[in-house]
Structure 1
């Protein structure tokens, strides 16, 4: 069953974040992740709890693969770049 990785990112240093994007994409794709949406136009229709900023949506083969990708030692090195240049919310959602 597919899983979806949803990331909301508030960029603090957009130039530094470009390095994260360049390294994260091939890593995600090696784990079978597919980018479905990445930083496109966002239309907020209703929200009592959340004010999303820059959204990214990815599909993985399953929850276990998504978790393994994010928990891998390689990604843990890459994500340090993101944490130094942005604030994020990351969610893994089990699909249907």
Structure 2
């Protein structure tokens, strides 16, 4: 069953974040991830709980693979770039 990594990102240093993006995509793909949305147009219809800024959605073959990607040493090595150039909320959710 597929799983989705969903990240809401508010860029604080867009130039530095480009270095993160360039490295994150190949790592996600290494773990079977496929980007299905990456910061495109956003129409917020309801925002009682949260107002998203910039959404990224990556589909993985399974919940386990999505978590393995996020918890991998390779991803841990580039995570400080994201943390230093953006405020983010990241969740992984099982698909149907």
Smaller-chain TM-score bracket: over 0.9
Say yes or no: does 1:19 pair with 2:23. Answer: no
1:9 and 1:57 mapped to 2: Cα distance? 11
Give secondary structure in 1 for the equivalent of 2:7: strand
Q: How far off is 1:47 after superposition? A: 1.2
RMSD of the alignment, in Å?
Answer: 0.4
Provide runs of 4+ in structure 1 moved above 2 Å.
none
**Equivalent residue runs for 1:1-96 within 5 Å:** 1-96=1-96
What is the CA deviation profile of residues 48-82 of structure 1, one whole-angstrom value per residue up to 9, with x for unaligned ones?
01010000011001010000000000100111100
2:39 and 2:92 mapped to 1: Cα distance? 18
TM-score, normalisation: structure 1: 0.98
Aligned residues: 96
TM-score, normalisation: structure 2: 0.98
Gaps of at least 5 residues in structure 2 are: none
